[in-house]
Amino acid sequence: MVIGQQLLDGVFIGSIYALFALGYTLVFGVLDIVNLAHSAVFMLGAVFAYSLVALHGVPFGLAAPVGVVAAALLGAVIEFAALRPLRRRGAPPIAPLVSTIGLALIAVALIEQARGTGPLSWLWRDGANSVSFPAGTVPQTTYHLAGLILPLPKVITLLVSVGLMFALAYIVRRTQSGRAMRAVAENPGAAALLGVDVNRVILVTVMGASALAGLAGILFAVAISDVSPYIGRDEVELRGLAVIVLGGMGSIPGTILGGYALGLIEALALLAFGSNARVGIAFAALFLMLVLRPQGLLGSRLTERV
Amino acid sequence: MGFFTQLVTDPGGFYRGHELLVAQCGINAMLAVSIWFTLYSGQLALATAGFMAIGGYTSVVLAIHGHVPLPVGTLAGCVLAALAGVAIGLPVLRLRGVFLAIATIAFGEALRFGLILNLPLTGRGQGLTNLDADPTGGILPVWISVSVLGYLGWSITRTRLGHAWAAIREDELAAAAAAIHVRAHKLAAFVIGAVIAAYAGALDAHLNFFVDPTEYGFDRAVQVLVFAVLGGIGSVAGPIVGAVGLTALPEAARWASDYREVLYGVILMLVVVFRPQGLVARRRGTRPRGRAGRRPRPRSRGGPAAARTD
């Protein structure tokens, strides 16, 4: 059952990729920009939850939601510091790339400098090192099903991500805020004329996207048992970009599909070619995909982008 | 003695104390010029790190296995990069904006993880030891090359080719309507960028005793983009200024000790907010000054439109 187990792991990591990439998709759909600070939020979400559990003794059930809220607040920082000032000045479309990279660099640098003494010691004490949640943070029950091993943290990750994906699709399709988001995505000028508070919609979008990134980071950190200043940059940043392109930029179902596709491609490439080639195969597949079907798996619709 | 004080009062001593930094500034300036060619023609291509790897690995592998002298190895790297540039450029230059950026990143990462990390010839990711390296002797060639490339970049913007690139950048449809062969011009910019990146990669490998695949990753590609955008892509001076300034910054900001990286990020954000057109740029009156909530629509949009062929 090696293949079955690998595929299962592919599905599991794929749901984290999808959750993370949904944040890219939301921001890209509404603002037409790629938010490169997104991976820093992923990392900071995990760091917040870790700090609450390991340094302050908060139970994980409380630490995780607080981490998500902190991530959403970081989203507000992204909007006010890196995005809104550029919109106000009519900066060229490439400028937000640089300002969000700047913000991500600041976040990673602050965490990797944080040690036992210093202004950030309440949040992080391990500098550039990698740590894991204390044993017993989450129950380590393991289920066995048809020869497959299913650890509880991974099962929960899977369920939570799938639930959130449905919730997000519902919010964007059916609620008033979702309609406002789609209106801004379509044409911000017209949306403003129709009484949509464009800046507010953008703020909510970036905060929501960041909450998703924070949650993805926390789930990743618990299930993989790895927290470091670099988990966002090294594990998901580039893969998230690959996922939104695989699925078709700005399409929510496409992004979800893309996340699972990338997880499975990596799992299969690992089986077939070994760990070094895994990422290479994934990117070669992405490259081919872009050349052969540039609109992505589900990106055929131009008008509906959120 | 402070960084700037020494630079002004004791240039010779400054140079001797910062030879590696001076060399790295030159290499990064060339990489920034490489990406500038594609940006100037309106393409967000992030293949610089990949082509740099082609140049670096080709010259080092030839030096190790064939004892080929550096100029020949460099030339071989450039030729290989030009061929790869045509092969990659033909299919991906139909893409625009973020799609193009990610396709070119995918090329670089597929090259790095798929080939360099697995081929015995490239050391299977363990890196290659380059015994012919000459860290200090390489500085002069590097800076002569930067000057030549800067001059070429400056004069090319005044030629028909340069005007065609600018026209494509401003409005691709209008350029095509004005009988500019959009695809050929884009490919030319892409291949020129590829050759310059490979050239810089070969010179860079010659400065170091060790070539390591981690040098050529996503971070490097993004860093080079930041050099060019921060400096300003309106003229070739922008990328050179951006690369030199940002490469020297961590050294110049030693006083900030542990918080140098933080300072780096803060400076990126401040520059891009207060000078969104880049450090070296004239303020252009044509750019719409959007108010809050009203932003100018980017020229390239996602979705199938981005995949339209010319």
Residue B307 is predicted with a pLDDT of: 35
Instruction: Please tell me which of A44-48, B130-134, B258-262 the model is most confident about, judged by mean pLDDT.
Output: A44-48
Counting beta carbons within 10 angstroms of the beta carbon of residue B152, is it exposed (0 to 12), middle (13 to 18) or buried (19 or more)? middle
Chain B residues lying within 8 Å of A295, measured CB to CB? 303-304, 307
CB–CB of A284 and B112 under 8 A? no
Residue B283 is predicted with a pLDDT of: 57
Nearest Cα neighbor of A103 from B273, B45, B154 is B273
Chain A residues lying within 8 Å of B117, measured CB to CB? 276-277, 280
Nearest to A188 among B91, B124, B293 (CB): B293
Residue A301 is predicted with a pLDDT of: 42
Whether residue B234 contacts residue B281, with contact meaning beta carbons closer than 8 Å, is answered with yes
- Residue of chain B whose alpha carbon sits nearest to that of A238: B218
- Region B249-260: mean pLDDT is 82
What CA–CA distances, in Å, run from B42 to A93, A198, B108, B168, B297?
Answer: 11, 29, 20, 7, 15
> From CA B116, how far away is CA B125, in angstroms rounded?
6
Residue B284 is predicted with a pLDDT of: 54
> From CA B55, how far away is CA B79, in angstroms rounded?
9
Nearest to A98 among B226, B261, B298 (CB): B226
Q: Which residues of A197-233 are buried (b: 16+ CB within 10 A; e: fewer)?
A: ebbebbbbbbbbbbbbbbbbbbbbbbbbebbbbbbbb
> From CA A86, how far away is CA A77, in angstroms rounded?
14
B170 touches chain A (CB under 8 A): no
> Does pLDDT of B288 surpass 50?
no
ipTM: 0.87
> From CA A101, how far away is CA B106, in angstroms rounded?
19
Whether residue B193 contacts residue B35, with contact meaning beta carbons closer than 8 Å, is answered with yes
Residue B300 is predicted with a pLDDT of: 43
> From CA B118, how far away is CA B265, in angstroms rounded?
35
Q: Chain A: nearest CA to B185, how far in angstroms? A: 19
> Does pLDDT of B27 surpass 80?
yes
CB–CB of A284 and B92 under 8 A? no
Low-confidence stretches of chain A (pLDDT < 70) are 1, 296-306
Interface A-B, measured as beta-carbon pairs within 8 A, has a size of 199
Nearest to B110 among A105, A113, A284 (CB): A284
Nearest to A280 among B113, B262, B287 (CB): B113
Show the tokens assigned to B253. Answer: 């900001």
Residue A93 is predicted with a pLDDT of: 85
Nearest to A283 among B39, B98, B106 (CB): B106
> Does pLDDT of B301 surpass 70?
no
Chain B residues lying within 8 Å of A250, measured CB to CB? 302-303
> Does pLDDT of B245 surpass 80?
yes
- Region B36-52: mean pLDDT is 94
What are the residue ranges of helices labelled H in chain B? 3-9, 11-17, 19-40, 48-66, 70-92, 97-109, 139-156, 160-170, 172-177, 182-207, 218-231, 237-252, 260-274
| Residues whose CB falls within 8 Å of the CB of residue B137, separated by 6 or more in sequence, listed in order | none
Q: Chain A: nearest CA to B21, how far in angstroms? A: 21
CB–CB of A85 and B273 under 8 A? yes
B121 touches chain A (CB under 8 A): no
Q: Name the least confident of A73-87, B227-241, B276-290.
A: B276-290
Residue A148 is predicted with a pLDDT of: 82
> Does pLDDT of B168 surpass 80?
yes
Instruction: Give the CA diameter of chain B.
Output: 61
Nearest to B261 among A97, A103, A105 (CB): A105
Q: Chain B: nearest CA to A86, how far in angstroms? A: 6
> Does pLDDT of B263 surpass 70?
yes
Q: Chain A: nearest CA to B12, how far in angstroms? A: 33
Tens of pLDDT, residue by residue over A134-186, are 887 888 788 887 778 888 888 888 999 999 999 999 999 899 989 999 999 98
> Does pLDDT of B291 surpass 50?
no
Residue B84 is predicted with a pLDDT of: 96
- Residue of chain A whose alpha carbon sits nearest to that of B268: A102
Name the pLDDT band for B287 (thresholds 50, 70, 90): very low
For chain A, strand residue ranges (E) read 142-145, 148-151
Q: Chain A: nearest CA to B38, how far in angstroms? A: 13
Chain B residues lying within 8 Å of A286, measured CB to CB? 102-103, 106, 110
Tens of pLDDT, residue by residue over B56-95, are 999 999 988 888 888 999 999 999 999 999 999 998 888 8
Report the sign of the C-alpha dihedral through residues B12, B209, B150, B102, in that order.
Answer: negative
- Region B160-172: mean pLDDT is 93
Instruction: Please tell me which of A159-168, A290-299, B106-115, B194-203 the model is most confident about, judged by mean pLDDT.
Output: B194-203
